[in-house]
Structures are given as C-alpha cells and as structure tokens.
Amino acid sequence: MTDPACLFCRIVAGAIPSDVVFEDEQVVAFRDITPRAPTHVLAVPRRHLASAADLTDDDGDLLAALFGALRRVAAAAGLSDYRIVTNVGAGAGQSVFHLHLHLLGGRPLSRLG
Ligand code: 5GP
Ligand code: ZN
C-alpha cells in the first residue's frame, strides 16, 4: 500500500513536509516544489500506484477524487483556464513513480504539439 522508499508516499504520510492545499480520504494535493506556473499543484492518491498505467477498471472512484481535488483547487485559485496532465514513464517526463496529476494555471499555456 505505502512504499517507504517512495517520495510521494512519504509526503502523504507527512514524513516529508509539503504545502498541502487539499486532502480527503483518497487524495492529497500539494504545491509542486519547482512550480512551472503560478499555480502548480500535484494531486496524488494516498495509495501507492506507480503511474496511470497501474490504474484498473475498479479505480473510477479514485479518478473522480483526483479530478475533484484539482477542480476544487482550481476554483479556490480563481482559475477558469488550466491544464491537468500526468506523465507515464521516464520517456514521457515522469520523474516520481507515484501517480500524480499536475494542475498548471495562472499563465497562458501553449497548445500541445
Ligand atoms: P513528474 O516529472 O514525475 O511528472 O513530476 C514530478 C514533480 O514532482 C515535478 O514537477 C517535481 O518538481 C515535483 N517534486 C519533486 N520532488 C518534490 C518534493 O520533494 N516536493 C514537492 N512538493 N514536489 C516535488
Ligand atoms: Zn508512493
């Protein structure tokens, strides 16, 4: 369930400090340590999953909780336009192997591709 070697499991457990902006039974959302936008928040499941590739058909409630967390964070920040993205695998830019959704907003975001 929790991997003591995993950075985000340690943040979820409170063993590493972070700026938490939202939490519920399933999800913790905290500010990225190297923000790439005025609002840059990561939403992670409390349960360890390495990436979106580890989600199953039974994880609908978790996905709703992850998106719900970021919807609330974006609304609280007054954002109407924002991006939610998740990287899967090192080749796609994933550097922390605990599933997380990035919320980026507060500046113009270029079109993908
Ligand atoms: P990835 O590159 O895996 O998609 O995103 C990982 C994110 O975690 C990066 O944007 C990085 O800045 C952030 N990050 C890495 N270490 C820490 C940390 O110790 N605390 C916080 N709050 N964010 C971190
Ligand atoms: Zn983890």
Q: CA 35 to CA 53: how far, in whole Å?
A: 25
Q: What is the pLDDT along the chain (113 residues), one digit of tens a residue?
A: 588 899 999 999 999 999 999 999 999 999 999 999 999 999 999 999 999 999 999 999 999 999 999 999 999 999 999 999 999 999 999 999 999 999 999 999 999 98
Q: Both tokens of residue 60? A: 């609908």
Cβ(56)–Cβ(82) below 8 Å:
no
Which among 70, 82, 65, 83 is positioned nearest to 24, based on CA atoms?
65
Answer whether 0.95 is exceeded by the pTM: yes
Give the length of the chain: 113
9 within ligand 1 shell (Cβ under 6 A): no
Q: CA 39 to CA 3: how far, in whole Å?
A: 28
Q: Closest ligand 1 atom, CA of 36?
A: 10
Cβ(101)–Cβ(66) below 8 Å:
yes
20 within ligand 1 shell (Cβ under 6 A): no
